[in-house]
Structure 1
């Protein structure tokens, strides 16, 4: 990638982690941090919106790399047996939970990206990221080893449900605290992950 384009993505990512609202982001601010001119945003990316998408795509790749690293580590620990069901689920949902609670993480980039996608007049720009599933499909063979009575579609649906639970937990902390009667410490990532795993795991177990 062109060095100026890389600096623009770096600057955009940095600002998205600092601002409270996506409206605070401007091409001028991004260009100032990147040490270039505002016109370079449209020159290299076509628009500020597409620059944000490029920044979010890079952050998503890091998140998914962490997810796959956890999955591979779980598989290596258990080899030659399949990894534990709980470890597979934790690898799937854990990074998002940790990032959402970790000060200094890049999670705000993804939050602003989601906000932009919901309001965009051109949803096609976001489709490849929002609807991308290949990094989730990697988990299917592992779940099938532990739940061979489930077909691929049934496992895919359960993965979708698990991700939905994760999204509700990471986006609605105050509501979750009230619904859980403050019995769960939603500021403790490992406790939150453990509770999500407890809820999701039975989806992949055979009913007795």
Structure 2
């Protein structure tokens, strides 16, 4: 038998995912689905925002596990060598793209969480979810093996840019459709993953010789100017 806390989290996800408009998401609807009362939300989560944050944390845990599982499969296929860059990037962006196009997924929970975090007067309660990046560090370490010409800071920046591209694709589909003159099938997740990977993979390619020389020179100059 589920306890009240578990019921509220499940109800929160159900209400958010079934809503035609996020304005339909309310405390009263959630407690009605959970079969609890208003006081249970305050008791277990402190507020409606706390409940949404906890629900989103569990959703992120599932999607991150899917990303890491895809990455591990790519590593296993390539072992003892590093995996192909396309497979690593597909593991990074694939789950989000698939979830965003799957009406049965919990992707609306992440969208609702983002909306609340932007509008909230209490942003601190959202930071533990937003600032969870350990799964990204796993990707950074893997990308460092594939692109040893970049240090981890440079790879981290490129990974952040790649995530920005992914977010544009998953959250701004109408804009993408306009910019591509409706010439791409934005409803085909696998095709969309391939196109996204093709767009971001060059960010991890070896720099040109001139750029490599300039980067090396700049690093040496930086080291030379550091105080002893």
Q: TM-score w.r.t. structure 1 length?
A: 0.96
Q: Which runs of 5+ in 1 are unaligned?
A: none
Moved over 6 A (4+): none
Q: CA deviation at 1:182?
A: 1.8
Alignment match, 1:126: 126
Cα distance in 2 for partners of 1:23, 1:52 equals: 14
Alignment match, 2:154: 154
| Farther off after superposition, 169-178 or 15-24 | 15-24
Q: Is the 8 A contact 1:101 1:189 kept in 2?
A: yes
Cα distance in 2 for partners of 1:87, 1:126 equals: 31
Alignment match, 2:4: 4
Q: Which runs of 5+ in 2 are unaligned?
A: 209-228
Q: Is residue 190 of structure 1 aligned with residue 195 of structure 2?
A: no
Q: Is residue 46 of structure 1 aligned with residue 64 of structure 2?
A: no
Aligned ranges 1:99-114 → 2 under 5 Å: 99-114=99-114
SS of residue in 2 equivalent to 1:150: coil
Alignment match, 2:116: 116
- Please report the RMSD computed on the Cα atoms of aligned residues, expressed in angstroms: 1.1
Alignment match, 2:219: none
Cα distance in 2 for partners of 1:185, 1:109 equals: 25
Q: CA deviation at 1:20?
A: 3.1
Cα distance in 2 for partners of 1:86, 1:203 equals: 12
SS of residue in 1 equivalent to 2:6: helix
SS of residue in 2 equivalent to 1:17: helix
Query: Highest CA radius of gyration, 1 or 2?
Result: 2
Residues 114-148 of structure 1: CA distance to partner in whole angstroms, max 9, x if unpaired?
Answer: 00001000111111111221110111121111111
Cα distance in 2 for partners of 1:43, 1:131 equals: 25
Cα distance in 2 for partners of 1:21, 1:46 equals: 24
SS of residue in 1 equivalent to 2:18: coil
Cα distance in 1 for partners of 2:38, 2:26 equals: 9
Q: CA deviation at 1:178?
A: 1.3
Q: Is residue 60 of structure 1 aligned with residue 60 of structure 2?
A: yes
| Farther off after superposition, 145-154 or 28-37 | 28-37
Alignment match, 1:29: 29
Cα distance in 2 for partners of 1:31, 1:124 equals: 25
Q: CA deviation at 1:23?
A: 2.9
Q: Is residue 179 of structure 1 aligned with residue 166 of structure 2?
A: no
Q: Is the 8 A contact 1:21 1:112 kept in 2?
A: no
